[in-house]
Copies of this chain bind each other. A is one copy, B any other.
Amino acid sequence: MLSPFFFLLEQPMLKRLLTAALALAASMYGTVAHAQADPLSSWNDGPSKARIVAFVQAVTQPGGKDFVAPAERIAVFDNDGTLWSEQPMYFQLAFAIDRVQAVIEKNPDLAKRPSLRAAAKRDLKALAATGEKGIAELIAVTHAGTTSEEFAQIVRDWAKTAQHPTLKRPYTQLTYVPMRELLDYLRANGFKTYIVTGGGIEFVRVFSEELYGVPPEQVVGSTIKTKYEVRNGTPVIVRLPEIDFIDDKAGKPVGIHKFIGKRPIAAFGNSDGDFEMLEWTTSAPGARLGVLVHHDDAAREFAYDRTSHIGKLARGLDEGPKRGWTIVSIKNDWKAVYPAPR
């Protein structure tokens, strides 16, 4: 019975599928096929890790009071500050600023606009001073006016060469190893993992599969309006300079409901922009998991919370523990932060 299929195990995709099937079988029927290495080996033993593991065991325990059918095992992850870093500025803002320079080179007249001139000079203070109108201009010039396929290519090209200003590494290497382990661990236990980001959906989709194993259709995010048109016989989706939906704060449950149509049972964030997502996730009956990553490790990453201009975390620190949410300390809970430099 085994031999005709054995060669298939050499194929990575089928191997992943069979591994998932066995893990699901194990999780559904309490059967463990073989002893496993610790799937959360980058996490220090402690209350955060114990809480996560206890939750997963509870919802996958067949016949247990907290058992959740696989179809309802929806886990949602914020991206900026939860799956990769967000300091000293959102990576997508770094992209916009890098891109505005390319755009101005092609069309120097644009440098007359204060917002774009400020962005081109990397003068964040001057950029902020141009207000909402200035930010809208920056988005219009850097994120719209192309087709969706062109935009994805622009982002891919940017990511190949762009470097974080202080860490001097490609942005794509600044993901958190313990969170990637967590994504894998949840998927091995029958969870469907989603990214729910305040960032642009088409920006994050470029990276989601490669960095996190999350396919594009499982990314929920902010959107700009787009338009379908046929150009010289070729259909394209054109990106328009108009905001469609902001997937942040109270927008996160709205985005989850619109895109997924199911209420998650686990939510992971790091800022007060994730508060409503965790609230929506954890306030329904049954076992629920809410986790906030607390950036308290200036030595290995960044330390910021209540007064930060990015990723502010105050209400979550105050109310989270009372609501049963887990506050993960990067300093104490994570053995590693970033992958080893390549």
Contact = CB atoms under 8 A, between A and B. Distances in A.
- Counting every copy of the chain, the complex holds 2
A54 to B, nearest CB: 24
B223 A261 contact: no
Given A11-B28, A279-B235, A259 B217 contact: yes
Interface string A217-256: 1010001001111100011010000000000001101100
Contact of A261 (B202, B229, B250, B279): B202
A253 B235 contact: yes
B261 A205 contact: yes
A24 interface: yes
A29 B14 CA distance: 10
A235 B288 CA distance: 15
A18 interface: yes
A217 B273 CA distance: 23
Which of A253, A261, A280 has the most C-beta atoms of chain B within 10 angstroms of its own C-beta? A261
Contacts of A216: 260-262
B1 A25 contact: no
Contacts of A237: 253-254, 257
A215 B4 CA distance: 33
A29 B13 contact: no
A52 to B, nearest CB: 23
Interface in A176-222: 192, 201-202, 205, 209, 215-217, 219
Contact of A235 (B31, B70, B283): B283
Nearest to A17: B21
Contact of A254 (B13, B202, B227, B251): B227
Given A18-B21, A235-B280, A223 B8 contact: no
Given A17-B24, A25-B5, A283-B235, A226 B261 contact: no
> Among the interface residues A8, A25, A228, which one has the most CB atoms of the partner chain B within 10 A?
A228
Interface string A43-56: 00000000000000
B24 A11 contact: no
A276 B227 CA distance: 12
Contacts of A229: 250
Contacts of A258: 201, 223, 226
Interface in A37-71: 70-71
A2 interface: yes
A163 interface: no
B254 A226 contact: yes
15 contacts: A1-B2, A4-B31, A5-B25, A14-B24, A17-B21, A17-B24, A18-B21, A217-B259, A217-B261, A226-B257, A228-B250, A228-B253, A235-B276, A235-B280, A259-B259
Given A205-B261, A234-B283, 16 more contacts: A11-B29, A14-B28, A14-B29, A18-B21, A148-B257, A201-B258, A202-B261, A217-B260, A228-B251, A228-B253, A228-B254, A228-B276, A235-B253, A235-B283, A237-B254, A259-B259
